[in-house]
Amino acid sequence: MNARATKSLAANGFSFARAMIVAGDINSRPGRAPGNDEPPSDDEILARLLSGAGLVDACKVVQANTCDNQIDHMMYRSGDGVVLQAIDWHIDEDFIDEDGSPLSDHAAIAVKFVWSQTPVRVAIDLQ
């Protein structure tokens, strides 16, 4: 994920009150420094995405000490009427082909979420 895509997702206000799960290989390498043209570092881009879109990284919620070298992420937030909570995060050992070879060049992750409904508050103007 590059800085432009991150900025677009973080600034997308139409969905800000809604629950959201963003998942995928965002091609970030923790600690990777900016290149010669000095764009933001991967850590900075990920931090901007998390803060700008109000997301939390499921790995850091469930497995706080094992997240540093992950390039796949599942990030989420609750929204109006829905509470999301990551309850399990692990490396998916079953992400293999019929010969038992990995389907990716890096370890796949799996996250289990629970959700609940909450009352949605509606403002009514009685004037």
* Residues 52-111 pLDDT 10s: 888 999 999 998 777 777 888 899 999 988 999 999 999 899 999 999 998 888 888 999
Structural domains counted in the chain: 1
Q: Is residue 29, in this structure, part of any structural domain at all?
A: yes
Rounded to two decimals, the pTM is 0.75
How many other CB atoms are found less than 10 A from the CB of residue 50?
19
Question: Would you state the pLDDT for residue 71?
Answer: 82
Pure H helices in the chain:
3-11, 42-52, 58-62
Look at the block and give the residue holding tokens 């992950």: 70
What single letter denotes the amino acid at residue 24? G
Expressed as residue numbers, the domain containing 57 is 3-117
126 is a domain residue? no
Average pLDDT value for residue range 36-61 = 81
Alpha-carbon span 55 to 72, nearest angstrom: 15
**Rounded Cα distance, 63 and 87, in Å:** 10
CB neighbours (10 Å) of residue 76? 22
Helices and strands (H, E) in the chain, number of each type: 3, 5
Question: Does residue 125 lie in a domain region?
Answer: no
Sign of the CA dihedral running 66, 68, 70, 76? positive
Let me know if residue 93 belongs to a domain: yes
